[in-house]
Structure 1
Amino acid sequence: MTNAVNPRSTSLGDEAARTLANATKTVPQMSTITPRWLVHLMSWVPVEAGIYRVNKVVHPESVNIQCDNYDESPLEETFVDYETEPREYRLKAVQTILDIHTRISDLYSSPHNQTAQQLRLTIEAVKEHQENELINSPEYGLLTNVAPAQRISTLGGPPTPDDMDALIAKVWKQPAFFVTHPEAVAAFGRECTRRGVPPPTVSMFGSQFLTWRGLPIVPSDKVPVVDGRSKVLLMRTGEARQGVVGLFQPGVSGEQGPGLSVRFMQIDRSAIASYLVSLYCSLAVLTDDALAVLDDVEVDRFHDYSPQYR
C-alpha cells in the first residue's frame, strides 16, 4: 500500500516548516528589575577597612565670632569642640551563592551563555536588595535615620504642594531630590492637576521625572506602602554639602562594580559549580538637616500595597 496524500495540501505547512527554523531568543527577562534611580543619584564615597567615621562638632552654636572692636579692647576667644565618641558606619554585605550544574553550562550555552545569564540575573537581584536596604535597613536605612525634628506628618490625603514645600523648608540647604513610591508620585501629580498647578518634568537618564520647585521626584518601589499610605523623602547629597552619602569598599577581590564581587567557589562531587556574589554597602547621614520625611501620605485608598522586605 502507498501512503495517501491529502488532496487539500498544496504546500508545506507552518508546523512542519518550523522544524527547520531557528527562533530568535531573548535573554531571560525578570520583572522585578527596576531602574534603581536612588542608587544612581546618590553620592558614593569609598571607605577603607569597611569603616566610615562621622566626626561632628559639639554645640556649634557656642562658637562665638565678633566684628572688629574699634576701642581696641581684646576680642572674644573661641574654639570648636568635637564629639569624643563619633558614630562609625560599617559596611554590610548583601550576599548569595549561585549554584549551576556544569552539564547545564556545558550543553545549553548557545546562543546565550547559561553561567553569564545566571550571574547577571543574580547580580540584578542583589542590587535590588541593596536599594531596599538603603531605604529600609533598621540599622542604616534612610527611613531609620531621619531625625525626629525632620519628620512631618500630614492630616490625611495625598501629598500636596504644601507638603513638599514643608519638606524643602526642612532640607533647605541645597536639597537634591525627593524619593517616594511610584503610587505616591502619581497621587501627587493628580493633586497638583486638581489644584491647577501641574508639576513640570525634567529629563534624566533618558527618562522623564515629575519635579517640584525644580527638584526631581524619584520613584522607588522600595519605599513601603501600608494600608494605602506611604512616605516621601527629601535629601541633600554629598560630603562637601554635609549631606547623605552611600558607602562602598573599592578593590574587593573579584570586583565587578563598586563594592560588587563575584568569586568562583568550587565544583562539588555532584558537578555543581558555586559562585559567591557579594555587595558591600552602607549609608551615612552626615547632618540631621540633610534628610527629612513626610509620613502617612495617602496614595490609593482602594488598594493595599504591603511592602516586601527583600
Structure 2
Amino acid sequence: MAETQKLHHALSDDAARQLANATKTPPQLVTITPRWLLHLLHWVPVEAGIYRLNKVKDPSRVEVALSQRREETTLPETFVDYEDKPREYFLNAVSTVLDIHTRVSDLYSSPHDQIKDQLRLTIETIKERQERELINNADYGLLANVDPGQRLSTRSGAPTPDDLDELIVKVWKEPAFFLAHPLTIAAFGRECTRRGVPPATISLFGSQFITWRGLPLIPSDKVPVVDGKSKILLLRVGEQRRGVVGLYQPGLAGEQGPGLSVRFMGINRSAIASYLISQYTSLAILTEDALAVLDDVEVGKYHEYAHTYE
C-alpha cells in the first residue's frame, strides 16, 4: 500500500490581500511645479479690479539748484507733471467649473474626501496657468511688456556670465532675481563650469538655487523654449522699489486665497454638483528699468520634457 503523501498548503498572498487595507495616497499630479514666481512677486490688492499706473511725464523737467557760498543763487521754478492718460490694468480671470456626481462624493469619500481632492487638483492646475499667464500673456505678461531698451541678445548663443552681467547693468537698481527655464539654468551652469567659475548656491524656501552676483536663478517651465532657444529675465520687484508687482482682488465671495474664489453653483437634476473656481490676477511693471530680458539663449540639447510655446 502506497504511503499517503501529506500535502501542505498555506494561505496565498493574493488571498491574504483581500483582508488587508491598502494605504492610499492622495492623487498625484505630475504637472504641479513649485511656482516660485508666485512666491517671489510682491502682491498688491486692488479695488474694483482696476490698477492705474501713474507716471511722471518728463522727469528731465524737474529741476533743482545748488546754492554756492557768497554767491547769489537764482532758484529755478519747477513742477512735476503727470501722464494725462495713465495705463490701467484690469484683473483677468482664470476660471473653470468643476463637476462632481453626488453619488461619488457620498459613497467614495473615505479615506480621502473626493470633493476636497478634486478641488485641490483643479486649484493647482489653475495656479499653474496663472503663473504661465504672468509670463506669457499677450496683454499684461512679462515678456509682452519689456521696454525695447531693456532687451539684449546673447553674444555666444549659450548663456554666459557676461550675458547676466549685462542684464544686471539694465536692472541695476536693487535687482531681485533671474527667471529662466530649467534647461537654460542648466546651460548657464555648464558654461560657468567650462570657464572655471562655478556659481554659488543659496537656500530659499528650503530649496537650493544657483546664483550669479548674489542673485538667484529661479526656474520656471513656463518661460518659453522654442527650437532650442529660450530667454532669461531679470526682475526688480515691489511697489516701494518701483518694480514688478502682482495684482489681485481681495475680499472675494468664497475666497480661498489671494484672488482665488471657489463658489458652489448648486446641484442639477442629474445629481451633478458644480463648483466655480476663479483666479483673478494681473501684473504691472511700474518703471521700464524694473525688467530686462536676454533673448535667443541656446539651451543645448532639447529634452522632450521641455515645453514649447507658440
TM-score (norm 2): 0.95
* Aligned counterpart, 1:14: 13
1-side partners of 2:293 and 2:99: how far apart?
Answer: 41
**What residue identity is the alignment partner of 2:138?**
P
More deviation, 37-46/72-81: 72-81
Distance 1:145 1:8 in 2: 77
Identify the range of structure 1 (57-66 vs 181-190) with the bigger mean alpha-carbon deviation: 57-66
1:90 aligns with 2:83: no
Question: What secondary structure does 2:16 align onto?
Answer: helix
- Alignment length (residue pairs): 304
Q: Is the 8 A contact 1:227 1:303 kept in 2?
A: no
**Paired residue secondary structure (1:139):** coil
State the partner residue of 1:124. 124
Task: Tell me what 2:151 maps to.
Answer: 151
Note if 1:243 corresponds to 2:236: no
| Equivalent residue, structure 1, for 2:221 | 221
Kindly state the Cα deviation for residue 303 of structure 1 after the two structures are TM-superposed: 4.4
* Contiguous gaps of at least 5 residues in structure 1: none
Displacement of 1:71: 2.8
RMSD between superposed Cα atoms in Å = 1.4
Letter in 2 for 1:14: D
Report the Cα offset of residue 155 of structure 1: 3.5
Partners of 1:254 and 1:125 lie apart in 2 by 18
Structure 1 stretches of 4+ moved >6 Å: none
Give identity over the alignment, percent.
68
Q: Could you list the runs of 5+ residues in structure 2 that have no partner in the other structure?
A: none
| Per-residue deviation, residues 41-65 of structure 1 (Å, max 9, x unmatched) | 0000000000000100011022111
1:279 alignment partner in structure 2: 279
Residue 8 of structure 1: how far off its partner (Å): 4.5
1:46 equivalent to 2:45? Answer: yes
Give TM-score scaled by structure 1 length: 0.95
Distance (whole Å) between structure 2 residues aligned to residue 229 and residue 274 of structure 1: 42
**In structure 1, distance between residues paired with 2:260 and 2:254:** 8
SS at match of 2:118: helix
CA distance in 2, matches of 1:246, 1:119: 24
Kindly report which structure 2 residues correspond to 1:132-151, keeping only aligned pairs within 5 A, or say none.
132-151=132-151
- Counterpart of 2:244, as a letter, is V
CA distance in 2, matches of 1:24, 1:13: 20
Q: Secondary structure at the match of 1:185?
A: helix
Partner-residue secondary structure (3-state), 2:111: coil
Q: Distance in 2 between matches of 1:147 and 1:243?
A: 13
The one-letter code matched in structure 1 to 2:300 is D
